[in-house]
Chains A and B, each alone.
Chain A
Amino acid sequence: MATGMVMEMKETLVSLLDAPLADAVIFGIHIDGHLFLETLLVVVIAFLLLQKSYQPEKRPLTEQEIDQLCDEWTPEPLHPPITKEMELSPPVLESAAGPHTVVNGKDVINLSSANYLGLIGHPKIKEACNAALEKYGVGACGPRGFYGTIDVHMDLEAKIAQFMGTPDSILYSYGLATVSSVIPAFCKRGDLILADEGVNWGIQNGLFLSRSTVRYFKHNDMASLEALLEDVRQEDRRKKKVLNRRFIVVEAIYQNSGEMVPLDTVVRLKEKYLFRVLVDESNSIGVLGKTGRGLSEHFNIPVEKIDIITSAMGHSLASVGGFCTGSAKVVDHQRLSGAGYCFSAALPPFLASASITALELLEDNPVLLTRLRRNISFFRSKLATIPGVVVRGHALSPLIFLHLQRSGSFAEDSVILQQIVDKMLEEGVLLSASKRSLLDKCKLGAGIRIMVTASHTEAELLSVSSSLGNVIQSVVTAQS
């Protein structure tokens, strides 16, 4: 009975649905009731798809929430806790840093000053400085743009240009700020720089501030540089880009290793691959070349082939500050875009006078260079006989590095080297071990940095090398 009624209801429902379209044929499709349901389904699906998906409301933080976050936030301390190795206590000098100096009331032989020509304390320099101090006082009291340019600055710039054989030069008031200002003046975002791995912090800072693409090649390895240059050329062929400024940055004698860059190879590569070259000649001015004009004279390369030469004057020129020289365009551009030139006070006039006198002394006394060279080769030959250490650095470099034969990490080596340096001070010799900042990216090893000057006598150097031999032996055997 019940099933009968349900069947009847089903029949009526179906006929009702079928009725309006009963036997209707549209476009050859037989319209049925279930087609109606299917269309209804499609309409419902379309409606759901068009609905916006659920997203939580975006509410900005309320003031109380910001207060809470500010209260919860705990900053790191301004500096990490001080450990024992952070406590540096350098030697305190009681006299000028010449080849002999006084530390703790005792006279010691000084091999840690970059006074390569021995000009510290020279009477002519003292006279020139005295005259400058009497006339100009100490400071220049202003940047170069605002009455800080004193006639001695212009004289020094002219003297440097005449000495180096370039059209013009520009003076900076600090050696470290020189190359850090020169590189960002010529390289901006989009330019390409290939630099040696072992460049000093000043150059690294300049490279970072320039925001250019920097690629490093292995320390003093010309094959690595050539491979990198080939790489760049391949990339150029693949992608057609706007021609950008390209530089190779090297140091003449590396501050971190004493190696000399083979400038003839670099110039050959630069001309082949169309790069410009920047050379930092801080340790080679007044050292290399027949008349001390630096790396280009040493390799007999005309100085015009080097696009930019920078140097600090705190080495052979027994002064403070730095200079940059090159073509007239190079120098002129820096007068408005060299950050360390425009926004910093000018070099004190007495230091500019000291540099002018040092250059004149170098020109008039080429015997200083021969003495320096003789001392370097003599000392190197004596140091080579000391067991337990390796003598690194180019044969002509006045900056000699002594690395441990059995070397570990930089930190481990530094501890041993500092012990050697401390013992040597007790023996009456002032040396210094490499110190590297945590900000420095250079990965070269630690060593004792010995700086030979033209004023040391052979007897002194002999006594130093024999003391070194004894001290190193005792420290190294104590280690093992």
Chain B
Amino acid sequence: MKIPYYVILPSYFAYALGFIFGHLRDFVSFFRNHVDKPPKGYAPLCRDFEDFYTRRMYRRIQDCFNRPIASAPNTWIDVIERVSHDNVTLVRTKNTRRCINLGSYNYLGFAAQDEYCTPRVIECLEKFGASACASRVECGTSVLHEELERVIAKFVGKPAAMVYGMGYATNSTTLPALIGKGGLIISDMLNHSSIVAGARSSGAKVAVFQHNSPSHLEQVLRKSIAEGQPRTHRPWKKIVVVVEGIYSMEGEICRLREIVALTKRYKAYLYLDEAHSIGVIGKTGRGLCELQGIDTEDVSVMMGTFTKSFGSCGGYIAGSEDLVKYLRYVSPGHLYATAMSPPAVQQVLSALKVLMGEDGTDRGMKKLAAVRENSNFFREELQKMGCEVLGDEDSPIMPIMLYIPATIPAFSRECLARNVAVVSVGFPATPVFLGRARICISAAHTKEDLNQALKVIGEVCDICQLKYYPPPQLSWKEKARLKEKEKNL
């Protein structure tokens, strides 16, 4: 995206100033011996430059992150207020502030108590306990786990599936099992940290293609296959292309149709991470393949998590029966890690039943329609206001671009003062000059909640001057005409 000069020059200036002052402070504290020195003969635990960003830049705005809450992560939360007595650490106070929650991943509204899910979860807790304290191959597999694997495979449209206890561990232990040395992983530039960790753990070579750009992916594929492995030029053992359904910092939907055409043509395998898109997009919430009308056979491995849309924890991998058998035999996340907690499994099962309408009501369809409607309404209103909002239509994630580093804490603090809890992110979660406030809409947000949030965001955007695309100014004739119309209505 093209950032205007009047935005980027102040950003450079701000970072440079922060940098200079940070180093000045380090210099002074070195002389006043405030630096905590390691014991004699030991290297410091955190290297200077690793720590610099944390100490001198992040610490200034640390009250905008890690905000604790004292309630369920529902549409209204009780944000606990914190104070700092020494300008370094923050301590909790007894005060809480009731805010609208625009930060949690609660797309279908299953976050807190649910009339169908919660009684069943409590029943399950009574019967199976909170944990089996063993891995799936020891005594961690219960009838619930097997049922969930069947149900999620059917839901997603694949022959078989397996379930892990943590979404991050799903990616980081499956990628090493699928591909090893001599293979190539081509991953989107903005893929999640768990995919990066899994790709690095695998030992395969990793190449990157420009974000959501099938043309660049084709270039990378052609070049990689033609040149083979680096230095030896032997042909690659296999190539796996890794993409996400909805990108969590952009709100963009992946151009899967074109990428599937490419992987078919160049005989690469496709790994789709649907963490944010399962249960949200598609007519019945079955994810990206349903939305874009793609046969699930064309995607080799489908992965997703239960944290976002289903209000639980854990992840799944869906694929062919043989692939799932092989992964059960090799994947360390299955052989060594604690099995998913049975109440969490029950929560996903119940949420899926509601979504598929098998609980006897149409709440599932209503929730899907609500999240779509709410997202589109909110995005439209923000754009009308003049903010720069990213994300595709129907995507419940909408980042509002901030750019200037000072607006990152300003937006967050001003919104909190007006009882709206938002998430603002800067470096290193986003590129250095592309700071943004990321809004996540839920099916449980009511129209009143959204209108109130919009009012507050409008005020704060005026204070922080974030309306980069203000609506065109009307002439006095047009203004008069509008006034007439409103009077008649």
Q: Is B272 an interface residue (CB 8 A)?
A: no
- Contact between chains at B311 and A112 (CB < 8 Å): no
Residue of B with least CB distance to A93: B142
Complex Cα gap A208–B312 (Å)? 30
Docked pose: A432 CA to B322 CA in angstroms: 24
Q: Chain B: interface residue count, which band?
A: 35 or more
- Does B58 interact with chain A (Cβ within 8 Å)? yes
Q: Which of B94-140 contact A (CB under 8 A)?
A: 101, 103-106, 110-114, 117-118, 121-122, 125-134, 136-140
In the complex, the answer to whether A174 meets B104 with C-beta atoms within 8 Å is no
CB-based contact A276/B325 at 8 Å? no
The residue that B139 contacts in the complex, of A79, A150, A208, A432, with Cβ under 8 A, is: A432
Give chain B nearest CB distance to A208 CB in angstroms: 6
Q: How far is the CB of A306 from chain B (nearest CB, A)?
A: 14
Are B311 and A134 in contact, with the CB atoms below 8 A? no
Is A61 a contact of B43 with CB atoms below 8 Å? no
A125 near B194 with CB under 8 A, answer no
Residues of chain B lying within 8 A (CB to CB) of residue A97: 128-129, 132-134, 139-140, 142
Query: Given A78-B269, A154-B92, A351-B131, is A343 in contact with B168 using a C-beta cutoff of 8 Å?
Result: yes
Is A96 part of the contact surface with B, judged by Cβ < 8 Å? yes
Query: Cα distance A342–B428 when bound, in Å?
Result: 11
Contact with A along B14-48 (1 / 0, CB 8 A): 00000000000000000000001000011111110
Whether a CB of chain A sits under 8 angstroms from the CB of B65 is: yes
Contacts of A176 in B (CB 8 A): 166, 169, 173, 332-333, 336-338
Q: Does B165 contact A (CB under 8 A)?
A: yes
Q: Tell me if A28 is interfacial: C-beta within 8 Å of chain B.
A: no
**How many angstroms from the CA of A120 to the CA of B266 in the assembled complex?**
51
In the bound complex, CA of A244 to CA of B131 (Å): 41
Within residues 55 to 76 of chain A, which ones have a CB less than 8 A from any CB in chain B? 61, 65-66, 69-70, 73-76
Set A86, A91, A115, A255: member contacting B133, Cβ < 8 A:
A115
| A74-94 interface bits toward B, Cβ cutoff 8 Å, 1 = contact, 0 = none | 111111111000111011111
Encode A298-331 as 1/0 by CB contact (under 8 A) with B. Answer: 0000000000000010110011100000000110
Interface residues of B in 225-266 (CB under 8 A from A): 225-226, 235-239, 265-266
The reply to whether B125 and A129 contact each other, CB–CB distance below 8 Å, is yes
Set of chain A residues within 8 Å of B194, measured between Cβ atoms: 343-344
Question: With A90-B138, A333-B51 in contact, do A137 and B113 touch (Cβ < 8 Å)?
Answer: yes
Within the complex, the shortest CB–CB distance from A132 to chain B, in Å, comes to 10
Instruction: Pick from B137, B222, B333: contact of A435, CB below 8 A.
Output: B137
A253 CB-CB contact with B under 8 Å: no
Q: Is the CB of B36 within 8 A of A329?
A: yes
Q: Which residues of A contact B127 (CB under 8 A)?
A: 95-96
Give the interface residue-count category, chain A: 35 or more
Partner of A274, one of B42, B46, B305: B42
Which among B42, B67, B118, B131 is the interface contact of A320 at CB below 8 angstroms?
Answer: B131
A135 to B70, CA, bound (A): 10
Separation of A262 and B240 alpha carbons in the complex (Å): 45
Hey, which chain B residues are within 8 Å of A65, CB to CB? 226
Q: How far is the CA of A458 from the CA of B37 in the complex (A)?
A: 54
For residue B73, CB closer than 8 A to chain A, the reply is yes
Interface residues of B in 327-344 (CB under 8 A from A): 327-333, 335-338, 340-341, 343-344
Q: Confirm or deny: A138 has a beta carbon within 8 angstroms of a beta carbon on chain B.
A: yes
Residues of chain B within 8 A (CB-CB) of A291 are none
- Give the residues in chain B near A186, CB-CB below 8 Å: 45-46
The answer to the question of A151 belonging to the interface, with a C-beta cut-off of 8 Å to chain B, is yes
Q: What is the CB-to-nearest-CB distance from B165 to chain A, in angstroms, rounded to a whole number?
A: 6
A149 B67 Cβ-Cβ under 8 A: yes
Structural contact, B128 and A138, CB atoms closer than 8 A: no
A177 within 8 A of partner (CB) = yes
B residues less than 8 Å from A477 (CB atoms): none
B69 contacts partner chain A, Cβ-Cβ < 8 Å: yes
Determine if B111 and A432 form an interchain contact, defined as CB atoms under 8 angstroms apart.
no
Q: Interface 1/0s, chain A 117-139, versus B by CB < 8 A?
A: 00011000110011001111111
Residue among B58, B117, B337 with most chain A CB within 10 A: B337
9 contacting pairs across A/B (C-beta < 8 A): A97-B140, A98-B129, A139-B347, A144-B66, A147-B79, A147-B103, A150-B73, A276-B45, A345-B167
Which 4 A-B pairs give the minimum distances between C-beta atoms? Answer: A314-B338, A174-B166, A96-B129, A344-B168
